[in-house]
Amino acid sequence: MTSWPATAQEFAARLRSDAADRDRANQPPVKEVELLRQTGLLDETDWSTQQKITRIVGAADANIGHLLGYHYLQIWRSGLFDKPVRHESGWFWAGVSNPLDAALELTPAENGFLVNGRKTFATGAAVADRLVVSATRTDNGEKLTFMLDGAADGITYLGDWDNIGQKLTASGGVAFENVVVPNEDVLGVQPIDEHPRLSLAALGFQLVLAQLYVAIAEGALAEAAEYTRTKTRPWFVSNVGKATEDPHILASYGEMVAQTQAAGLLADQASDQLKAASDQGAALTKEQRGEAAVAISAAKVVSTKVANEVSSRIFEQVGARGTAAGYALDRFWRNARTLTLHDPVVYKAREVGEHFLTGEHPAFTGYS
């Protein structure tokens, strides 16, 4: 896609124009996904470009940035199994594979399996064309990853996502009742320690989250800055004519911008390391995989702090009038606060500290 920067910026501007209204309406993101199809952004295949698009879109609307980042992730993740994956133009992908929610069972059947059970927190699944799903075999305990048509018979989307932030991510539960999984749609066995490349999927999820945290901070700064330029009034004892001349406001923005830029650079560096690890293919070593894991954990630690602090601190720069519901600046904080609880960031800090002090790499888990 040669014109992706303009396309991404145009799409982001469209999202930004009614982001507050859509946040209040709290409707499933059917319209937004359809708009994504029309832009062609769903079909972007270049890794670094995907990262940039996710940040641009996420800054305008963290919900849609989340969906898009996970869409790219699911296609990449499927490819780690070195099995041909069919992707039709305009398909939107999502996953049903919460690592701590082992509630799906695969029963062997003729020419494949039947999947039954219920999963929670399936971001974007309810509006997806294609699902990447993980479940456990009933006969031998293996955990398999497979693909499904999002509209397959027996799948019910529960619509039970009711959180304070990321309202438009369709992140509710999914129930499966005797859903047919043909053998040809089975990607493979979930990774174990002997397969470092397959285990990169867990790191991919963490990287997307780090990029989204940076995007939320970038979006919060952009909207707060526009308010400050056009509406914020200088405090009466400041002895300046405009808010943009107040040294305290200038210094506060300077700190937040510098912190956000630093977090963005760290996330991009981690992205490059994960791409390099993925490109190693079967030759990837545990040590190389471990270095990528530590880099992503470091990015996650910094971006988590930046997203939560910036999305809260902007209110000090816009003033009391900026808290009016019509501006909906609180959505940045609500989105950051909700998304950064995906998994405890303190364990990411522990991973970085342990590596620094002992050289140990993070264990292979669904989150590291």
Q: What is the pLDDT of residues 104-120, one digit of tens each?
A: 999 999 999 999 999 98
H or E element, residue 113: strand 112-119
Pick 97 or 183 by higher pLDDT: 183
Q: Give the mean pLDDT of 245-253.
A: 96
- Sorted by sequence, the CB contacts under 8 Å of residue 368 that are 6+ apart come out as 202, 203, 206, 293, 297, 347, 348, 351, 362
Classified as helix, coil or strand, 104 is: strand
H/E stretch holding 181: strand 174-182
- Rounded to a whole number, what is the distance in angstroms from the first to the last CA of the chain? 32
Domain definitions of the chain by residue range: 4-79, 93-189, 200-358
Q: Which of 5, 6, 16, 9 is nearest to 63 (CA)?
A: 16
CATH 1.20.140.10 fits 200-358, yes or no: yes
Given a cut of 60, whether residue 281 has pLDDT beyond it is yes
Q: Give the C-alpha separation, 101 to 281, whole Å.
A: 29
Top pLDDT among 60 and 102 is at 60
Q: Contact at 8 Å (CB) between 93 and 128?
A: yes
Place of tokens 């894991």: 293
Q: Across residues 248-264, what is the average pLDDT?
A: 98
Q: Does the pLDDT value for residue 195 go beyond 60?
A: yes
Q: Structure tokens of 277?
A: 């690890």
The answer on pLDDT for 359 being more than 80 is yes
Other C-beta atoms closer than 10 Å to the C-beta of 45 total 11
Alpha helices in the chain (DSSP H): 4-17, 19-25, 30-39, 47-60, 62-79, 200-230, 247-279, 286-318, 330-339, 345-358
Fold of 93-189: Butyryl-CoA Dehydrogenase, subunit A; domain 2 (2.40.110)
Q: What is the mean pLDDT of the chain?
A: 95
What mean pLDDT comes out for the span 22-36? Answer: 96
2 class by beta-carbon count within 10 Å (0-12 exposed, 13-18 middle, 19+ buried)? exposed
Please, which pLDDT band fits residue 313 given cuts at 50, 70 and 90? Answer: very high
Q: Give the sign of the dihedral formed by CA 15, CA 17, CA 20, CA 25.
A: negative
| pLDDT above 90: percentage of residues in the chain | 92
Nearest to 36 by CA among 75, 64, 56: 64
Amino acid (one-letter) located at 302: V
Mean pLDDT of 47-67: 98
Residue 149 pLDDT exceeds 80: yes
CA 202 to chain centre: 12
CA dist., res. 305 & res. 213, Å (int): 9
145 with 97: CB under 8 angstroms? yes
Whether the CB-CB separation of 296 and 210 falls below 8 Å is answered with: yes
Partners of 131 in the β-ladder: 94, 148
CATH fold of 4-79: Butyryl-Coa Dehydrogenase, subunit A; domain 1 (1.10.540)
> Does the pLDDT of residue 1 top 60, yes or no?
no
The CA distance from 188 to 181, in Å, is 13
Please indicate whether residue 84 or residue 315 has the higher confidence score (pLDDT).
Answer: 315
Pairing of strands 112-119, 174-182: antiparallel
pLDDT at residue 42 is higher than 50: yes
